[in-house]
């Protein structure tokens, strides 16, 4: 029974490959590496992952647990191994990649990262990084993932995702967009807030003209559990402004470590490091 | 109606074909395997700078549409093409213009039948410069070496095939061959990505395809 099946599969092999080549012809016909036309399964990934997350809601009062990482960049081998490792975790609800999905700001790189991350058993969400804004990357990110500033509520926690890559705008004084961030932090309808972005405010790549306003807005938010970043490729947790606000930095994929973040109560949390 | 036009066209073309055949009969035998350019009367030599062919293509990372001109080198075994490509804003976020130089070698020429010829292998390199990217470095935006790679300059290999049809030469005796080609290519940054991630990427991931036409004039 198996042998004829195998045989017919091998006979089918070449036509299948040819058909595959034809189907992917549109993607192969790249107009420019900066061209972001994408197949339908590589568009609006933020909205799609949020829909997947909404399909497995977290009851009020339940403990929140997610995987936190960043800077997938040019680390596709590591992405493959990270996915295998995360898929072995039980009780994690989603994963966050805090920017620098791509290395050169090109659409295909974002596809390549998604090629791996879509094998996760849990949804994943992203925020834009500085490398994702090189060239026409910002437009590619919008087409493939979605908005540069967005928020979502999961269980008792509101996640506020924002673009802090000020240097990519040549420090125009408008990044992060405090007119968007402030009302998000002032939303009193959810028990907890977590704000996530790529460049940490204490970094040289954060717009110095916005730094104080950002830190102050966070300080004034009584619901904020912590602020989270990537960009520096290594883990840290601390209070760089000595103002009671905790800042967490992720490992990059290449460091072959990620964090499992557990949040409960009003602002209780635990960070667990996992090597892969 | 269409059939009538075809018949009329064939009738009109018949004397031309006959005269071409007569010219061929008197021309020396074609021993080079080149597409037929032999004529009773040799055309006047062209100035070196006068392009020998026009080219238009899509894809290959150098434009939704890229058009240009080119020169045959080394008895047309090699060609140097210069193209300007265009990508509309809706596909890239900004309107891009891309200047490209391509150098292609075709070591084998296979006559298929009268007027048709195949170049089964064309291999070459391209170099492109993109104008119009959104986040192009402004003075003082980055410290030196912040991004080590160029956003606008790409270089990459090309591999393809080409089929040529020999149209009747122009009244002045110039070849008017027309060719269709495809090329598979990639670029420096895609190659680097694959080279460092042989498990995490496949060679197909980094391929691009170009489809194009060349016409002698």
Domain positions in chain A are 1-30, 34-275
Residue B139 buriedness (CB in 10 A; 0-12 / 13-18 / 19+):
exposed
Query: B159 CB near a chain A CB, below 8 Å?
Result: no
Domain membership flag for residue B140: no
Domain membership flag for residue B43: no
Query: B208 CB near a chain A CB, below 8 Å?
Result: yes
CATH topology of domain A34-275: Purple Acid Phosphatase; chain A, domain 2 (3.60.21)
Which residues constitute the domain of residue B115? 51-134+158-217
SS3 assignment for chain A: CHHHHHHHHHHHHHHHHHHHHHHCHHHHCCCCCCCCCCCHHHCCHHHHHHHHHHCCCCCCCCCEEEEEEECCCCCHHHHHHHHHHHCCCCCCCEEEECCCCCCCCCHHHHHHHHHHHCCCCCCEEECCCCHHHCECHHHHHHHHCCCCCEEEEECCEEEEECCCCHHHHCCCCCCCCHHHHHHHHCCCCCCEEEEECCCCCCCCCCCHHHHHHHHHHHHCCCCEEEEEECCCCCCEEECCCCCCCCEEECCEHHHCEEEEEEEECCCEEEEEEEEC
Per-residue pLDDT of A233-269, as tens digits, reads 999 999 999 999 999 999 999 999 999 999 999 999 9
Total domains in the fold of chain B: 1
Q: Do A32 and B94 touch (CB under 8 A)?
A: no
Per-residue pLDDT of B153-165, as tens digits, reads 999 999 999 999 9
8 Å CB contact between A111 and A144:
yes
Taking contacts as CB-CB distances below 8 angstroms, the residues of chain B near A37 are: 91
Q: Give ∠ CA A252-A119-A198 in degrees, rounded to 5.
A: 30
Compute the nearest-CA separation of B151 from chain A (Å). Answer: 6
Relative to beta strand B96-105, strand B116-131 is: antiparallel
Alpha carbons B163 and B66: distance in angstroms, whole number = 19
Q: Which of A76, A108, A168 sits opposite B135 (nearest CB)?
A: A168
pLDDT at position B42, please?
65
Domain membership flag for residue B191: yes
- By C-alpha distance, the chain A residue nearest B129 is A32
Using CB atoms and an 8 Å cut-off, which of residues 69-128 of chain B contact chain A? 85, 87, 91-94, 96, 98
Taking 90 as the threshold, does the pLDDT of residue B110 lie above it? yes
Per-residue pLDDT of B48-98, as tens digits, reads 888 999 999 999 999 999 999 999 988 888 999 999 999 999 999 999 999
Domain harbouring B59, CATH code: 2.40.160
Domain membership flag for residue B151: no
Domain membership flag for residue B103: yes
Q: Number of CB pairs < 8 Å for A and B?
A: 127
Compute the nearest-CA separation of B157 from chain A (Å). Answer: 15
């Amino acid at each position: 029974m198996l042998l004829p099946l195998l045989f017919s599969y091998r006979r089918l092999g070449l036509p299948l490959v040819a058909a595959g080549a034809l189907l992917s012809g549109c993607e192969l016909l790249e107009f420019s590496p900066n061209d972001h036309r994408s197949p339908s399964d590589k568009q609006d990934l933020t909205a799609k992952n949020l829909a997947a997350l909404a399909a497995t809601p977290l009851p009020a009062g339940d403990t929140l647990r997610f995987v936190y990482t960043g800077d997938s960049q040019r680390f596709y081998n590591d992405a493959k191994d990270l996915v295998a490792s995360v898929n072995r975790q039980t009780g994690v609800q989603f994963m966050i990649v805090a920017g620098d999905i791509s290395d050169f700001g090109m659409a295909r790189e974002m596809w390549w990262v998604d090629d791996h991350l879509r094998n996760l058993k849990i949804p994943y969400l992203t925020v834009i990084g500085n490398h994702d804004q090189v060239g026409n990357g910002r437009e590619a990110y919008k087409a493939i993932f979605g908005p540069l500033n967005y928020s979502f509520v999961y269980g008792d926690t509101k996640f506020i995702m924002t673009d802090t890559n000020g240097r990519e705008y040549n420090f125009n004084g408008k990044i992060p967009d405090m007119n968007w961030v402030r009302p998000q932090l002032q939303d009193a309808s959810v028990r907890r807030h977590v704000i996530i972005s790529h460049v940490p405010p204490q970094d040289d790549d954060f717009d110095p003209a916005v730094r104080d306003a950002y830190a102050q807005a966070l300080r004034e938010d009584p619901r904020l559990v912590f602020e989270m970043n990537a960009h520096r490729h290594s883990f840290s947790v601390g209070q760089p402004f000595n103002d009671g606000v905790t800042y967490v930095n992720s490992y990059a994929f290449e460091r072959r470590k990620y964090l499992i973040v557990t949040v409960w109560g009003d602002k209780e949390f635990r960070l667990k490091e996992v090597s892969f | 109606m269409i059939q009538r036009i075809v018949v009329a066209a064939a009738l009109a073309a018949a004397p031309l074909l006959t005269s071409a055949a007569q010219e061929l009969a008197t021309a020396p035998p074609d021993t080079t395997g080149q597409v037929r350019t032999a004529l009773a009367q040799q055309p006047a030599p062209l100035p070196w700078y006068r392009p020998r062919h026009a080219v238009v293509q899509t894809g290959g990372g150098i434009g939704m549409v890229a058009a240009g001109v080119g020169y045959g080198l080394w008895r047309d075994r090699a060609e140097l093409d210069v193209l300007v490509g265009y990508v509309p804003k809706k596909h890239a976020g900004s309107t891009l213009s891309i200047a490209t130089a391509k150098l292609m070698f075709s070591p084998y020429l296979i006559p298929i039948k009268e007027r048709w010829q195949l170049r089964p292998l064309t291999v070459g390199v391209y170099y492109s410069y993109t104008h119009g990217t959104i986040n192009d470095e402004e003075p003082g935006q980055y410290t030196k070496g912040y991004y080590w790679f160029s956003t606008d300059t790409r270089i990459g290999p090309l591999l393809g095939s080409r089929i040529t049809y020999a149209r009747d030469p122009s009244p002045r005796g110039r070849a008017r061959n027309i060719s269709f080609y495809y090329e598979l290519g990639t670029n420096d940054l895609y190659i680097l990505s694959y080279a460092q991630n042989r498990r995490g990427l496949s060679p197909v991931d980094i391929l691009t395809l170009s489809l194009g036409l060349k016409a002698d004039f």
